[in-house]
Every structure is written in structure tokens, then in C-alpha cells.
Chain A
Amino acid sequence: GAGVSQTPSNKVTEKGKYVELRCDPISGHTALYWYRQSLGQGPEFLIYFQGTGAADDSGLPNDRFFAVRPEGSVSTLKIQRTERGDSAVYLCASSASGGRGETQYFGPGTRLLVL
């Protein structure tokens, strides 16, 4: 079946603008994760959804970042009043049920550039 997909592949925006990044997980996967990968770094955890609810949002850097998953499948990461420091690759991953030690399958990411 299809893997995790993310759109857009690349996004260029201006400082202060609002952006939305979309993640479409593997069909049937109830667990969904967002990570942010800055240049030269490994991915850093942002938020974890189990079904429709955010089970762990401890990685969101501030209140400009928000994510939703209203129907338990597609998720949208929303960034308000973007700053140049938000430039990074945003990775989405999903796993079957979020169980202990389950493999997380990653999408190709969205590269966000804030000018």
C-alpha cells in the first residue's frame, strides 16, 4: 500500500505569514507523529496523535504551532506568524497503533523556507 505522504514538498513563505503542512498517514494507522529537522540536525519530536486526539504535544516550541487530526487520518500542522527560525524540514510519521516499540514509518517531509 501507499506510504506516508506529505504536501507540499516545498513551501516558501514570508516572515509573519501563516502556513499549513499536510500529512496523510498509512491507511489504518492510528498513531501519527510530527518531527522537525533543522539543517545539520536530527529530527526533533513535535507532537503525537492517537486517533483524533493529541496524546503528547510536549515538543511544540511555542503557541504559534498547532496541529489537528479531526477525523483520525490526515493531519495538518499549522504555523502562525512564521519566523525565519521556523525554516526546516517537517517530517510526519505514522505507526499502526502507537504501541510500545512499534516502527514509525516516515514521509518525505515538507521543506519550509521562511524569507
Chain B
Amino acid sequence: AQTVTQSQPEMSVQEAETVTLSCTYDTSESDYYLFWYKQPPSRQMILVIRQEAYKQQNATENRFSVNFQKAAKSFSLKISDSQLGDAAMYFCAYRSAFTDKIIFGKGTRLHILP
């Protein structure tokens, strides 16, 4: 069975600085998708960034980028120029290309210090 592990329950970063959230996953499959979701206090899960496993190039979305290491099964999220609005729970997630469900990690709570 696939698993997603986020080893950092909480992190803090100074506003305007850069922070990296860690994620590892376990799978025997070669075709899958990885995601980072943000969940603010409103509870709504918002997709931050996604990565297709078959793509070697790391995905980027404005201030958000990933470091995808397929062999190491690692998928970290880097947030540059952190803003107060980035404060939230961040979930790393996995979806097999062959199933419908998303498997989430336990999350990392990110605090932004003004």
C-alpha cells in the first residue's frame, strides 16, 4: 500500500524568507501524481502544485516549487518570499495513475512570523 510521510508537524519562517517542507512517499508503482495542498482555517483544501511522476522537470507555480527526487521517493515544497497569507496546514499527497483516491500525509503546520 502507498504511504505518504511528512516528518515536520510544524514549521516557522520569517516573512519574506524561504522555507522547505519535506515529504517522502512509498510506492511500488512507476506512474503516479504528487500534490501539495494548502488548508487554511477555512478548511478548504487548495491545490498548490502538482507533479507528474513521468516528468523529470520540477514543477513551479510562482513562489512555489518542488524538488522531486523519484529514486529517493522524496517530494519537498519550497516557498519563496513567504507571505502572511501562506500560513496554513500543508498536505503532501499521492495519487496512483490507476486509482481514484488521493492519499494524504498528516500535514505540516506552517507559521509565518512578521
Contact = CB atoms under 8 A, between A and B. Distances in A.
A56 B98 CA distance: 12
B43 A89 contact: yes
A103 B50 contact: yes
Contacts, number: 58
Interface stretch (A13-21, A22-30, A38-46): A38-46
Interface residues of A, number: 28
What interface size band does chain B fall in?
20 to 34
B30 interface: no
B45 A101 contact: no
A91 B46 CA distance: 12
Contact of A45 (B33, B52, B102, B105): B102
Contacts of A109: 43-44
Interface of B: 4, 33, 37, 42-47, 50, 52, 91, 93, 95, 97, 99-107
